[in-house]
Amino acid sequence: MGNGGIKAYAAIVLIRLMYSGMHVMSKVALDHGMNPYVFVFYRHGTAALVLIPATLILERPKAKLVTFKIAAKMFVHALYGVTACGFLFNVGLNYASATSSSALYNVQPVVTFILAVVFGMESMKLKKLHGNVKAAGILSCITGVTVLAFYQGPMFRSFNHHRLFQKGSSSSSAAENTHSQTQWVLGIFLMTLSNVLAGLWTVLLGPLIEETSKLMNTTLQISWAAVQAFVIAVIAERDFAKWKLGWSVELPTVIYSGVIVTAVSYYMQMWTITKRGPVFLAMSMPLTFIFTIIISSFILGDATSLGSIFAGILLIGGLYNVLWGKNIEEQDELKNICVAKPGLELKGKEPQVPDDDATTKV
């Protein structure tokens, strides 16, 4: 393995650790009573404060003119794909767990693929092997979401009985009342819907990238999302005393989510895709689930349910099935080309599947 290969593997491990940290830290902040709407505003606002100067420095000499039409498109895409997506995710996380959110994270590329089929960007021929493999993957993901929502099973307690953070009194107590099962199902539904919007955002984003650079695109959408989130947060939370950020949990979580996850990991994902392709990045997504279980268990002392583990296996299996089916389809197409044109050599081709760019904003 060359030096570039080692760097690529190190990059995906760091990316997944970043997202695992986000799932856990966000849950801790919400358990301490932080309003999810306010949290989304602070996160997008922090990311915008990092991205705007970076864009001015890096893009100013070569940036394309941003017209009113492009800005309006960015506003719409930010509204459903960044703002709404972020709100649904954090409100759902408030009712569920960090482990469940990281398990559902594996749904995103599969949802992206389904939407790409609906929009005619991808194919799923059920009479072919690759079509059946993809269908099996989709079915596995649907089953995984259902299991996660309606079955918890026995709990596996952590060896660590000393929590690093003590739960707050608001959301944690709410999660333990008689309506906890209903709230859990609601949380899974909201986070699943968040992944659907993220998939839709990924599918519809392609034409926009051609109109401006990736960095400018991200900065515009995150900036719009910060404005949108502020308006919604003001409407949802009128008590500005609850907008104060505590130094122990809330402020570090906002800075971490806005700077490390949204800004730094975005660049690392783009670098990884450039070096090894989107499939390489997508296949590393299950690491987030594994790392989140470890962090939640050994650092926070959280218990993990059998249902979450079983659902995670189904969701990861579904993701890999879709990727495998896509790979088979790509290989079949290459073979057909070689049969039609015998003079051509069959060379390895990196199969293109929906990547997880959408995770840069959730």
Residue with the two structure tokens 């390489």:
280
How far apart are alpha carbons 312 and 152 in whole angstroms? Answer: 12
Give the range among 127-136, 206-215, 220-229 with minimum mean pLDDT.
206-215
Interval 286-319: pLDDT, tens: 899 999 988 888 777 777 888 889 999 999 999 8
Task: Give me the residues paired with residue 305 across strands.
Answer: 155
First to last CA, the chain: 33
Q: What percent of the chain has pLDDT over 90?
A: 31
Range list of H helices, the chain: 3-31, 36-59, 68-78, 84-95, 98-104, 107-118, 129-150, 171-175, 180-211, 214-236, 250-255, 265-276, 278-282, 286-298, 306-340
Q: Is it the case that residue 49 has pLDDT exceeding 60?
A: yes
How far apart are alpha carbons 184 and 219 in whole angstroms? Answer: 34
The count of C-alpha atoms lying within 13 angstroms of the C-alpha of 294, restricted to the half-sphere facing its C-beta, is: 10
How far apart are alpha carbons 80 and 246 in whole angstroms? Answer: 29
| DSSP-derived 3-state class of residue 155 | strand
Total Cβ atoms within 10 A of residue 224:
22
pTM over 0.85: no
